[in-house]
Structure 1
């Protein structure tokens, strides 16, 4: 099928997803009840109560394999952008898994919108993700296998040697996001001239972000071609962030020593009471309006929770699948 036809179909599908989100928002003032949704056995029981969305890339939407079904409680479908069903590849990050999602840059010489990434975006906010509105905590977990040892070439600039300053992994967008700004994100990004694994979060829409960066070389934390389990937690009430690799805490430092989340006063301190505009996976702008920070990588078992997962529970989740 010609690429322009694939793009047209993709945009039509995203429009339909956005219209469904808008219709749901207009239809009621509270999120739909999801109590009867079964939670995947891939999730440790200690985490299930707070699991908002989860994706194992083994559950295409019937009749539309370019969409992936949510294995969490929210029922938030995501799109496999530009690559569609071809982005599901037979690769096992953990026992019981069948497929992973492949994200990648397609053509670094063209400022187009053809990178393979995944996610969902709605200008009015994604109502099924309302658990991340006015929340005191969020956690992002998943399995990642990088196939690149540096950020990819920047397709949006004229300099043929220019590279992006980050490699996008997975995160939840803010309620005012253009497809890039995040409320909670796992990422590799330049920190003072050195690429580092980070947890990057923003409590308030339009507010400042805080970053917790790993001390250890990112190439040691994420060796090329090796499956690694990562987790990031965001305590918006206290301002604390944390990173974990294969179930164990990762030493790091905050890139700001002031109070970017404005949590020094009396609390509780919550995120802005706005529905996130979506989820981004493997790069920014899941609505496919531009390219940014693509990841040549595979991902599996992605989980987004509306609470701060404890260190013990991160370890339990890792061992639940890795043993």
Structure 2
């Protein structure tokens, strides 16, 4: 099925389900057990969750959401081939593979995943006027630095970042984010960061890990990462394998404008989507590709505590022992 037909079919299904009627995504049903790989303390706030073991029946290029929102994502350009047999932890099944396909051509063939809508993705409404967000998951990089910039004629030009996973803003062109895990150039050095933006059209803040990213994400090794974004206070945090990472803010002013009277929440707009393994999930441009594998990507509508991040990591790694 072509992209327009696939998107149209997915939209029709959402309309039929009443999810595009203007209502917020429904809360988790009472007694809903949630995905078995998600710790019980996180299930209530699990807006979207992708384990890449649940293709949409009849269209394996779409992945079903195991969270409460039902937000399907597309495996862009690679389709079903992007699901690979590679276990991030003992209880997992398949993983997602993303990668740059042709670094010398300004095309739109990179493997990435996500969803995008110019009018906002209404199933992602829990991130509309939200006070906190968490992005977490398993990542295995297969690269030692950013890939060649396929949008310029200079063969020596490189992208300045490696995209992991994030939630877009309500006015995003497919690149701008509300909450993102990525690797990006900070003062001339690539670093693992949490990058967030409270207000559509406003300034972003970045919290960068102190430690060398190559030690945090060794090539070929599965690592569990988490980033939290407290839009009420301006605080951010990074975690690796359940433990907090020391870091620093790249701005010392008040980019989120939380210094005045609150409450402080994100702009009251539905995010335009989710991006995974690079920007522009609508496949209109190539940007910051990731030659990576990913698994069990989680997007939550609250700031997860350090204790709960550790619980989630231990919950996953304890399976199969």
- TM-score of the superposition, structure 2-length normalised? 0.95
| Cα offset, 1:19, TM superposition | 6.2
Match of 2:21 among 15, 19, 27: 27
1:45-64, CA deviations, whole angstroms, 9 ceiling, x for partnerless residues? 11111100000001111111
Residue 80 of structure 2: aligned partner: 85
> What's the offset of the Cα at 1:14?
3.0
1:71 alignment counterpart: 66
Structure 1 residue 290 and structure 2 residue 296: aligned?
Answer: no
Q: How far off is 1:21 after superposition? A: 6.0
Q: Are the aligned partners of 2:19 and 2:123 in contact in 1 as well (CA < 8 Å)?
A: no
Moved more, 33-42 or 96-105: 33-42
Query: What are the within-5 Å matches in structure 2 for residues 43-54 of structure 1?
Result: 43-54=38-49
Q: 1:322 to 1:33 in 2, by over 3 A?
A: closer
For the residue of structure 2 that corresponds to 1:314, the secondary structure is helix
Alignment deviations for residues 71-115 of structure 1 (CA, whole Å, 9 cap, x no partner):
110011100000000000000001211100000000011100000
Q: Which of 288, 299, 313 in structure 2 is aligned with 1:318?
A: 313
Number of residue pairs matched by the alignment: 316
Of 118, 125, 129, which residue of structure 1 is paired with 2:124?
129
1:143 positional shift: 0.2
Tell me, in whole angstroms, the C-alpha distance in 2 between the residues paired with 1:21 and 1:213.
38
Shift of 1:256: 0.2
Q: Equivalent residues in 2 for 1:30-179 (5 A)?
A: 30-32=24-26, 34-35=28-29, 38-179=33-174
Deviations 1:118-145 (A, max 9, x none): 0000111000000000000000000000
Correspondence for 1:216: 211
2:198 maps to 1:241: no
Alpha-carbon distance in structure 2 between the residues aligned to 1:13 and 1:170? 22
CA distance in 1, matches of 2:199, 2:116: 19
Gaps of 5+ in 1: 1-5
Quickly say closer, same or farther: Cα 1:38–1:66, change in 2 above 3 A. farther
Give CA deviations for 1:237-264 in whole Å, capped at 9, x if unaligned. Answer: 0000000000000000000000000000
Alignment of 1:232-271 (within 5 A): 232-271=227-266
Q: Distance in 2 between matches of 1:218 and 1:34?
A: 36
Alignment partners' CA distance in 1, 2:27 and 2:47: 12
User: SS of the residue aligned with 1:27?
Assistant: coil
Separation of aligned partners in 1, 2:12 and 2:254 = 38
In the TM superposition, what is the alpha-carbon distance from 1:268 to its structure 2 partner? 1.2
CA–CA distance in structure 1, aligned partners of residues 92 and 68 of structure 2 = 20
Match 1:198 to one of 193, 196, 209: 193
CA distance in 1, matches of 2:15, 2:203: 28
TM-fit CA distance, 1:32: 4.2
SS at match of 1:46: coil
When residues 190 and 218 of structure 1 are mapped into structure 2, their CA distance, relative to the original with a 3 A threshold, is same
Q: In the TM superposition, what whole-angstrom CA distance separates every residue of 1:13-63 from its partner, at most 9, and x where no partner exists? A: 234445666885762444345527651010001111110000000111111
Distance in 1 between the 2:226 and 2:253 partners?
24
RMSD: 1.6
Are 1:44 and 1:316, in contact at CA under 8 Å, matched by a contact in 2? yes
Which segments of 5 or more consecutive residues in structure 2 lack a partner in the other structure? none
Which deviations, in whole Å up to 9, do the C-alpha atoms of 1:257-299 show, x marking residues without a partner? 0000000011110000100000000000000001000000000
